[in-house]
Amino acid sequence: MAEQYFAADPSVGHDERVIQYRVGETSLRLTTDRGVFSRQRVDYGSGVLLEQMATLTFPAAGILDVGCGYGPLGLFVASWWPEQTVDLVDVNHRSLALAQKNAELNGIHNVNIYESDGYEQIPVDRKFGLIVTNPPIRAGKQVVTRILHDSHQFLVAGGSLLVVIQKKQGEPSARRELLAIFGHCEILARDKGYYVLRAVKSAE
């Protein structure tokens, strides 16, 4: 069931399939399964976020995908910026196994894929130039707020957080949270109720 995608070990049976997704000139084959987020197709919000990321500039300090699922966000950015290392983290073991499989399927090697509840397993001294997330809304507001709030300490100065979230699922409160943490929040895109928000860490 879809509501199990934020569980560590979904109890539903397996039904793997391979889908194809293209952004610009980049096309990836992605294996999905039951018990992971948006298994039928890449989530529309992720697509909106990817369109914004394709032309983004940010410090070359590595990239982090929080709540990576089977890997669409992290693997696209890894293919676009092969000189950077991309960390993909999630709590769902099935999602992590699929993300690893999809990295191999597409010949993407500049990735680290591992279990982490938000930023819990990321060393406190590790910093990134870009953090991206399509946060697990069904896991609850507290989880989403923690992902947004804690991002600040894991960014280098000038680093960006990009988040996609629907207005009806908490975009106004997410924007207020980012304004409180970063001092500003930019709306990069609005599309069918999805908002792409960007916050940049100021120089320290």
* pTM greater than the 0.85 cutoff: yes
pLDDT at 7 over 80: no
Three-state SS string over 77-115 comes to HHHHCCCCCEEEEECCHHHHHHHHHHHHHCCCCCEEEEE
Query: Model confidence over 11-39: pLDDT tens digits?
Result: 666 778 899 999 999 999 999 987 787 76
What's the mean pLDDT in 34-50?
84
Q: What integer pLDDT is reported at residue 85 of this predicted model?
A: 97
With H, G, I as helix, E, B as strand and everything else as coil, classify residue 27.
Answer: strand
What is the pLDDT confidence band of residue 42, given thresholds at 50, 70 and 90? confident
Q: How many domains does the chain divide into?
A: 1
Q: What integer pLDDT is reported at residue 105 of this predicted model?
A: 97
Q: Which two tokens stand for residue 112?
A: 């680290």
Average pLDDT score, the chain: 90
Its domain, for residue 118, covers 2-200
Q: Are 94 and 36 in contact (CB under 8 A)?
A: yes
Query: Model confidence over 125-155: pLDDT tens digits?
Result: 999 999 999 987 766 788 889 999 999 999 9
Distance CA 105, CA 126 (A): 28
CATH of the domain at 36: 3.40.50.150
Query: Model confidence over 50-70: pLDDT tens digits?
Result: 999 988 899 999 999 999 999
Q: What integer pLDDT is reported at residue 168 of this predicted model?
A: 85
Which residue from 116, 101, 138 is spatially nearest to 4, judged by alpha carbons? 138
Q: Are 116 and 90 in contact (CB under 8 A)?
A: yes
With a pLDDT cut of 70, the percent of the chain lying above it is 91
